[in-house]
Structure 1
């Protein structure tokens, strides 16, 4: 069925141009106007979506052609349209940057698939008249996409603005929809994985309000809305449903707090569709998980709060007891770190749950960064043996095996065909540590890659 709804993509010529700043500000400005906006983020990302969620008041979703098929991408966009006044998709990196030389999985390819108008964010830093050549280059590079407008960011002074806007008006056929000034008061600070996650530092949330005010003041929002409404109808291919016959509804605890916040909404929804009730667990204040049937521990920044995590001895002991009993536990990246013997940072060593014999050591450089592909082995309770599961990894830590612990004696769920994985044994890279019904991995998984993950998880939890 064809569906028609307003939509925009915010993209940029290159990364660090300010498209996240513009997206957050636009979402907040539209929300302040009383509009419900469904935000999306292109690519595998948790942190930018956390800010988009705060700005819009609507959970942000991801659109990624590596982890999702074309029909899934289109359905994800269309399925939320009846609940929103418009959809806004934030691109990733440069507009044509993708998985390979052909630009596979680029923002431009996604825009073409979704038939969505593009607003191009251009940084004014160290450039004036040359901006016109850059914009024309983008417009002429791929005539399948619609560059519907330009927003200039980090404009220093009125003279700077006059030269750039004059050049664009003279040499380009793309309308200028506004300019945003430079200013440290609107920047969201970075950390080694990108922006600081929304909600971790409450005082940063005032910057969302400031960004909304700036966008309302400096951008032509009425014209932006008109461009969004010009998007043509798109055919919704529909989506599948999960149907699982369970003896009862299991209660799966989901760690959600300042340390663990990296979850795709679709993963949580898949568990609920499979018949599970989700219960929030706070790693700092929850005393135990004794009354739960399963645990899902996502990614985040446990190393930043390692001392506070280590201090909750009661919860750590309860998680270890649950793993020993065979409770189904699925842990990704930060969750893996929490289930290790301990985390070693520049501040010291902090004991964790001790489910697995490895320790986690923080490093100054990325140890895994980008898409990962895992070939499923036979010894795991969550995935179908032989399948290749796409996902991603992004971490500044590595597993360290104490003296007397041989990684070759550990059970691994995955053989890593692309990515850094967890350990190399006899020249083969492995990931996904297994202990009873616990699986812990550096691999971030999206439920669209294989629905059986949620079904298997719910079935195990329902058995008690």
Structure 2
């Protein structure tokens, strides 16, 4: 099982560029290259996948056990000619004092030969004690070579080679001159994702050709092949993973993947499929509306970079909002959460988003939440929803420059934050109807079981809706035309509301509308338009006590006006709003 770990002395040494270029060079030789990335990351794996033509899998010591990392590595490495693991930060860097979650610990776990990428700018003789120190710090780590990066020219290269050859036994596998063609555009969250660039494939091919010309690729292959054999996963385990067929009814789940949103772990997508999901790709920038789906997933990304385009696609925003109000199960992470907000503000610009959540997202110059998170589920978590279930502890990560403002006071949260920032340092996972939207990124089988739980929730909702069948539908004649409602009279399409509908529905309920009724209806619609949630009775009392005075601005009078379920049920129905969950 040929394999290598590409690491560095410190971050920003150029290891991602060299890793991508090396993988591209190996692929150009016709080799099947399997890539891995250490730690929580989406963007570097996107580029590694572009270079290899295969999904890149993350190996994360905080979210995964050693056994999980070993199974993940052997499962996919065993199907390739060579595996390249790109580290994060420096070889010995990590959260733990004992280095148990460092790149070096991963190299020891998987017996990975290590190639160090060294940023050689400004260095000559001092590079020798750096290499010797890295060798001596942990003798269990096998450093098989170095690649010198950012060289100033041929003279600089020859000096460094002479020093390394004289003082160390570590071979120089490559010497990379400074070249803008090896640079990948960066911005506030790191590298620009490859799917935003129309010429990503050409860039990666050029990087592969440049690296192949400056790195001794045949020697790299020999060193990788010298790695000791690792035990292969049992055949039955591979069979169970690859060919397991779901016994439950399949569900269609929309997955937003476009230039604005694209942060997904490939093993999460595989887990969704293995749980019985047909994944339907959705483009929020180009598609006019959601397709027919049973659930929706909106991952992280860079919505702030596409604010005008997202705002301009009003039909898609309305489609998502209407689907949410019709109780479509939705899971959103970070950028997806921002998309569901009322507005998104960055610098001097404010753009309308979906408006399903009563919050406004604001971008900042510095990170608001960054690093690993630990969460505990609350009773509000929509899945799994079991009244007797004990709170679950989840692990994930976050990296966001945005915060939320103008939160509706009645918002519910699925998570209590034990570590990290989330929405406000204490809570994360906004719950609205069947939506769960959080800043935390979760990974199924690595700190959470979100894919299985979400699919189970979606399937249960689909089965329940199917069992209701046609009984949930009825029509009201409005000016001679049928308007579809559910069996209780709530609109199925919120855009169908009109004053004539309110009159027709009131007549069906034997209610004569007065000026007071119309004032309540107007208040309910205005409140929902502003907050994206239905007004609670106490909000109505507070408003109408000021408008009508205490004699009529009270709970008793409001229920007198709307005798069939009160203002929060009958009032919302006549106002064309969907049924609230809870108080009726």
TM-score interval for Structure 1 and Structure 2 normalised by the shorter chain: over 0.9
Do residues 128 (structure 1) and 129 (structure 2) align?
Answer: no
Q: Distance in 1 between matches of 2:446 and 2:218?
A: 38
What are the superposed Cα offsets for residues 227-274 of structure 1, whole Å, 9 maximum, x if unpaired?
11111122346668688642x210000000100010000111111111
What are the superposed Cα offsets for residues 178-198 of structure 1, whole Å, 9 maximum, x if unpaired?
101012222111111110111
Q: Tell me how far 1:456 sits from its aligned partner.
A: 2.1
Q: Tell me how far 1:129 sits from its aligned partner.
A: 1.1
The CA RMSD over aligned residues, in Å, is 1.6
Partner in structure 2 of residue 16 of structure 1: 12
Partner in structure 2 of residue 378 of structure 1: 379
Partner in structure 2 of residue 289 of structure 1: 290
Q: Tell me how far 1:205 sits from its aligned partner.
A: 4.2
Matches within 5 A, 1:174-189: 174-189=170-185
Partner in structure 1 of residue 30 of structure 2: 34
Do residues 399 (structure 1) and 404 (structure 2) align?
Answer: yes
Matches within 5 A, 1:67-216: 67-216=63-212
Q: Which structure would you say has the larger Rg? A: 2
Out of 219-228 and 316-325, give the one that drifted further: 316-325
Out of 300-309 and 206-215, give the one that drifted further: 206-215
Q: Distance in 2 between matches of 1:68 and 1:309?
A: 35
Partner in structure 1 of residue 395 of structure 2: 390
Which structure: greater strand fraction? 1
Q: Tell me how far 1:100 sits from its aligned partner.
A: 2.4
Do residues 439 (structure 1) and 444 (structure 2) align?
Answer: no
Q: Tell me how far 1:123 sits from its aligned partner.
A: 0.7
Q: Distance in 2 between matches of 1:203 and 1:453?
A: 34
Unpaired stretches in structure 1, ≥5 consecutive residues: none
What are the superposed Cα offsets for residues 98-128 of structure 1, whole Å, 9 maximum, x if unpaired?
1122223211111111111111101111111
Contact 1:447 1:453 (C-alpha < 8 Å) held by counterparts: yes
Contact 2:7 2:88 (C-alpha < 8 Å) held by counterparts: yes
Q: Distance in 1 between matches of 2:287 and 2:348?
A: 25
Q: How many residues align?
A: 451
Partner in structure 1 of residue 445 of structure 2: 448
Question: What secondary structure does 2:276 align onto?
Answer: coil
Contact 2:443 2:449 (C-alpha < 8 Å) held by counterparts: no
Tell which has more relative contact order, 1 or 2 (C-alpha 8 A, sep 6+).
Answer: 1
Which of residues 43, 46, 62 is equivalent to 1:47?
43
Partner in structure 2 of residue 457 of structure 1: 454
Question: What secondary structure does 1:99 align onto?
Answer: coil
Q: Distance in 2 between matches of 1:337 and 1:369?
A: 16
Q: Tell me how far 1:204 sits from its aligned partner.
A: 4.9
Q: Distance in 1 between matches of 2:447 and 2:289?
A: 31
Q: Tell me how far 1:144 sits from its aligned partner.
A: 1.4
Matches within 5 A, 1:400-419: 400-401=405-406, 405-406=408-409, 409-419=410-420
Q: Tell me how far 1:59 sits from its aligned partner.
A: 1.2
Which contiguous aligned blocks of 4+ residues in structure 1 show a shift greater than 4 angstroms?
236-245
What are the superposed Cα offsets for residues 329-366 of structure 1, whole Å, 9 maximum, x if unpaired?
11000100011111001241111111111100000001
Which structure: greater helix fraction? 2
Do residues 59 (structure 1) and 89 (structure 2) align?
Answer: no
Partner in structure 1 of residue 323 of structure 2: 322
Q: Distance in 2 between matches of 1:87 and 1:185?
A: 25
Question: What secondary structure does 1:125 align onto?
Answer: coil
Q: Distance in 2 between matches of 1:191 and 1:290?
A: 33
Q: Distance in 2 between matches of 1:457 and 1:375?
A: 17
TM-score (norm 1): 0.94
Q: Distance in 2 between matches of 1:382 and 1:70?
A: 28
Change (3 A) 1:26 1:290: closer
Contact 1:290 1:322 (C-alpha < 8 Å) held by counterparts: no
Question: What secondary structure does 1:137 align onto?
Answer: helix
What are the superposed Cα offsets for residues 292-341 of structure 1, whole Å, 9 maximum, x if unpaired?
00001100001000110111111111111221122111100010001111
Q: Distance in 2 between matches of 1:412 and 1:451?
A: 17
Question: What secondary structure does 1:235 align onto?
Answer: coil
Partner in structure 1 of residue 492 of structure 2: none
Contact 1:382 1:452 (C-alpha < 8 Å) held by counterparts: no
Change (3 A) 1:385 1:367: farther
